[in-house]
């Protein structure tokens, strides 16, 4: 057990610092005749997805970023979705495209993601964007991994030489954050559903990233005393992938859920949209 209370890695505070700078950048762009625009595509009638899209739209509005909403019916085909994406690719007023996922099961989600122009892939979902991230060259890395790195940077938490254990290997979270930590000279272990002795591996982590999508999955007894815990999970009931109470007892620093990685993920999406808009002036 830690003798001192862990540092709470306050994502709302980190997000506010990002958005404060963004507001200035957006005002500067608007003075030059460019209004940053994020297009969000919602397919079907999933209420959680609709809520996420609405939250992102509200966040845009507060900063003076235009939010263009494209709502498609649940029966939309892959071809129709790709056509809608292509229209946004061709629209010079749109600087970023976000396809809210998951999409209905009959749609080829990967084909839809790949239709997004790399110049407008501000959510970091394309294979080309992933490859650029692997080389440390991504203009727009996946937003949640980028948010995790932003939190580490904000709190001046060293990564180089540390052992980072990432639990989860999704192509837009676990894998890219593993690569980003590796590019920061961490030694990275990526765990997944087939990993054996998971608790023993997590116990080696100086930095633990929870990205598994299971509520209260990672237990405090697995945690190395003083470890930095970044919980990227968000499950029903406002709980993360870590059992917060028991992990708190062992951690040196920990993100809460809610109020940890989530707000920084949205701020990162907005930042990358503004980055894209600024490139149109060059």
Q: How many Cα atoms sit within 13 Å of 83 on the Cβ side?
A: 6
Helix residue ranges per DSSP H, 91-230: 109-114, 127-134, 143-154, 174-183, 198-202
Domain count, the chain: 2
CATH number, residue 51: 3.40.50.10860
CA angle (226 as vertex; 204, 194 as ends), nearest 5: 30
Active site residues: 56, 100, 123
**Number of residues that this document lists for the chain:** 282
The structure's pTM equals 0.96
Q: Are residues 150 and 191 in the same domain?
A: yes
Q: Buried b vs exposed e over 106-140: b needs ≥16 C-beta within 10 Å?
A: ebebeebbbbbeeebbbbbbbeebbebbbeeebbb
Domain span including residue 47: 33-117
Q: Exposed, middle or buried by CB within 10 Å (0-12, 13-18, 19+), for 161?
A: exposed
Q: Is residue 14 part of a domain?
A: no
> Which tens digit of pLDDT belongs to each residue from 219-241?
999 999 999 999 999 999 999 99
- Decide which of 82, 101, 117 is a domain's last residue: 117
**DSSP code of residue 222:** G
Residue 139 pLDDT class (50, 70, 90 cuts): very high
Indicate the helix (H) or strand (E) that contains 57: helix 47-63
Q: Are residues 147 and 258 in the same domain?
A: yes
> Which tens digit of pLDDT belongs to each residue from 174-218?
999 999 999 999 999 999 999 999 999 999 999 999 999 999 999
């Amino acid at each position: 057990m830690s003798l001192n209370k862990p540092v709470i890695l306050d994502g709302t505070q980190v997000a506010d610092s990002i958005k404060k700078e963004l507001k200035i950048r957006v005002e500067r762009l608007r003075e030059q005749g460019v209004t940053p625009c994020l297009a969000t595509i919602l397919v079907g009638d999933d209420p959680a997805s609709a809520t996420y899209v609405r939250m992102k739209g509200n966040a845009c509005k507060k900063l003076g970023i235009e939010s263009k909403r494209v709502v498609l019916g649940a029966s939309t085909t892959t071809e129709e979705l790709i056509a809608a994406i292509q229209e946004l690719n061709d629209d010079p007023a749109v600087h970023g495209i976000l396809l809210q996922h998951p999409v209905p099961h009959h749609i080829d989600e990967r084909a839809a993601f790949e239709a997004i122009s790399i110049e407008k892939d501000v959510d970091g979902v394309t294979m080309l964007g992933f490859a650029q991230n692997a080389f440390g060259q991504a203009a727009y890395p996946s937003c949640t991994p980028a948010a995790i790195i932003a939190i580490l940077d904000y709190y001046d938490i060293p990564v180089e030489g540390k052992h980072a254990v990432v639990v989860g290997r999704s192509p837009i979270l676990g894998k890219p954050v593993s690569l980003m930590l590796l590019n920061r000279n961490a030694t990275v272990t990526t765990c997944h559903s087939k990993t054996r002795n998971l608790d023993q591996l997590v116990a080696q982590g100086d930095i633990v990233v929870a990205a598994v999508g299971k509520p209260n999955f990672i237990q405090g007894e697995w945690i190395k005393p003083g470890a930095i815990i970044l919980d990227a999970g968000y499950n029903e009931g406002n709980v993360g992938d870590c059992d917060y109470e028991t992990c708190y007892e062992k951690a040196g620093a920990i993100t809460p859920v809610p109020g940890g990685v989530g707000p920084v993920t949205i701020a990162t999406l907005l930042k990358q949209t503004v980055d894209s808009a600024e490139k149109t002036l060059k």
